[in-house]
A and B are shown apart, each in its own frame.
Chain A
Amino acid sequence: MLELEFMRLAFGAGIVVGLLAPAVGFFLVQRRLSLVGDGIGHVAFAGVALGYLLNLPLVLTALVVSVTGGLSIEWIRARRRTAGDQALALIFYTGIAGGVVLVSAAGALNVNLFQFLFGSILTVTRGDLAVIAALGACALVTIALLYRPLVAVVVDEEGARVAGLPVAALNALTVALAAVTIALSMRIVGILLIAALMVLPVIAASRIAWSMRSTILLGMGIGLGSVLAGITIAYYADLPPGGTTVLVAAATVLAAEFWSVVRG
């Protein structure tokens, strides 16, 4: 399997995505914003469509549009003019509708959009891997450096505000990291499934972890294991890797739930 270059590239990208998605997802899940990943994923579709229209690198346009969409969700939510789910719905549907219109305008409706919606390891290029590795490493280092203030906001947002932490900036950073993760992951699990990889490993980890730190680290381990197992199973069983990866992650949630019940 590893003698094939496309598999080596897929595993390389998968390792970055498997570690990054739960690390970012932890902060979304704990802020009860699990569906933000889904919303940004739909916005990323509009970014892919824009890339087709402007003939630009699709990862780049997806990245720019995802970050813009994510920050818009946070901006609307933070001002409390609209309930969080309504803000999400607005961006969610605008993104997917904008994507369809832009793809149509680009005359690319016959393009195989499936690869972006559900992932396709065959499409990962060396250039993609370089971008994914560089941006993924930057995102992980950012989380490591800002771990304490990010956690302080998650645990008690008002307390963090009173303490003088830059809460709005930290919240914006969280959704920006989510947007980067989604743009980087669309080749591996697809923009419709990436949110699952951000959320499911964290849920599984929280069932068996003993602290916040262990929740994040276990989540990253489960995310990494899910991606590696998903790609491997998909290769040998001729299954779609994105869906297979998410099913493996879902199975870990069931296993962790079972373990926590047995443990008592």
Chain B
Amino acid sequence: MPLALRLQRVSFAYGHAPPVLRDVDLEVERGEFVAIAGPNGGGKTTLVRLVVGLEEPTSGRVELLVRKVGYLPQRAQAGIDAPVTVRELVTTGRASRTRLVGPLSGADREAVRQAIDRVALTPQADRRLSTLSGGQQQRAFIAKALAAEPELLVLDEPTTGVDVEAQDAIAALLQRLRNELGMTILYVSHEFGAVERFVERIVLVRGSIVFDGPPSGLPDVWHDPSHAHA
């Protein structure tokens, strides 16, 4: 399978602080569903920020080999006080696929409708985001990322503050998206129990990559017991 991204001997430090990441090598194939896990402060978020281009490596090389990236940042929330509907939020995710100037085309409206439908929020499409549950809000943000029809979907802690049931629902949704659309998914979380049964690879990051392999290869002590089916 062709690669979606490649990191070669990547190190990163914020300013003059000690490096957050040291000599990271990582290759992800197109269509892979990869969980990136590890302790808080271990460098997971920094790793994906390097992948999506929000940070530049101090040394080494980051190659993104797909064109369209959907990104769900940590603790995603609409950065505004004004009421925003699900449809309005998802429409903002379409901005990269449309011309900059002028109204949305019919095809773009259809893409937005499909993105909302894929996360099963069609009945809530014109409701204000703030009136939805935490799990529904996260699904709305996933739809926002999907609206750009990305080849690579990067989700940073998408289940923070969401109950276990909703975490499982989000994990199942991602698995379905991956199967139906063939997209590459990077799923960052310190609680990866919900996706353990779906991903082919778990990459554990603690300053560098300390484990990279199938979930079955994880030492028992690292499995998350909060998800009974795991």
Contact = CB atoms under 8 A, between A and B. Distances in A.
Interface string B63-103: 00000010111001011111111001101110110101111
A30 B80 contact: yes
Interface centre among B81, B83, B100, B126 (most CB of A within 10 A): B83
Contacts, number: 97
Contacts of B71: 158-159, 162-163
A163 B79 contact: no
B183 to A, nearest CB: 15
A145 B84 CA distance: 20
Interface in A92-113: none
A164 to B, nearest CB: 5
B96 A164 contact: yes
Given A145-B102, A148-B92, A211-B85, A161 B80 contact: no
B92 A152 contact: yes
Contacts of A29: 81-82
A115 interface: no
A209 B98 contact: no
Given A152-B92, A212-B84, A213-B88, A157 B98 contact: no
A81 to B, nearest CB: 12
Interface string A122-151: 000000000000000000000001101101
A155 B100 contact: no
A152 B112 CA distance: 14
A53 to B, nearest CB: 39
Nearest to A157: B79
A24 to B, nearest CB: 14
Nearest to A216: B82
Q: Which secondary structure dominates where chain B touches chain A?
A: loop
A149 B88 contact: no
B95 A152 contact: yes
A30 B81 contact: yes
Contacts of B78: 155-156
B55 to A, nearest CB: 11
Contacts of B227: none
Contacts of B82: 26, 29-30, 202, 205-206, 209, 212, 215
B95 A162 contact: no
Nearest to B80: A30
Contacts of B54: 158, 161-162
A211 B100 contact: no
Interface residues of B, number: 34
Given A30-B80, A160-B95, A215-B82, A210 B128 contact: yes
Nearest to A26: B82
A197 to B, nearest CB: 17
A150 to B, nearest CB: 10
Interface residues of A, number: 33
A165 interface: yes
Contacts of B83: 206, 209-212, 214-215
Contacts of B84: 155, 211-212
| B72, B96, B148 pick with most chain A CB within 10 angstroms | B96
A152 B98 CA distance: 12
B52 interface: yes
Contacts of B81: 29-30, 206
B181 interface: no
Nearest to B127: A210
Contacts of A20: none
B95 A163 contact: yes
Contacts of A228: none
Contacts of A160: 92, 95
Given A149-B100, A212-B84, A215-B83, A162 B89 contact: no
Contacts of B92: 148, 151-152, 155-156, 159-160
B96 A165 contact: yes
A154 interface: yes
Contact of B144 (A146, A159, A202): A159
Contacts of B98: 148
B41 interface: no
A221 to B, nearest CB: 15
B225 interface: no
B128 A146 contact: no
Interface string B93-131: 101101011111000000000000000000000101000
Which 4 pairs of residues, A with B, have the shortest CB-CB distance? Answer: A163-B96, A30-B80, A152-B95, A152-B92
7 contacts: A148-B92, A148-B98, A152-B92, A152-B93, A162-B54, A162-B71, A165-B96
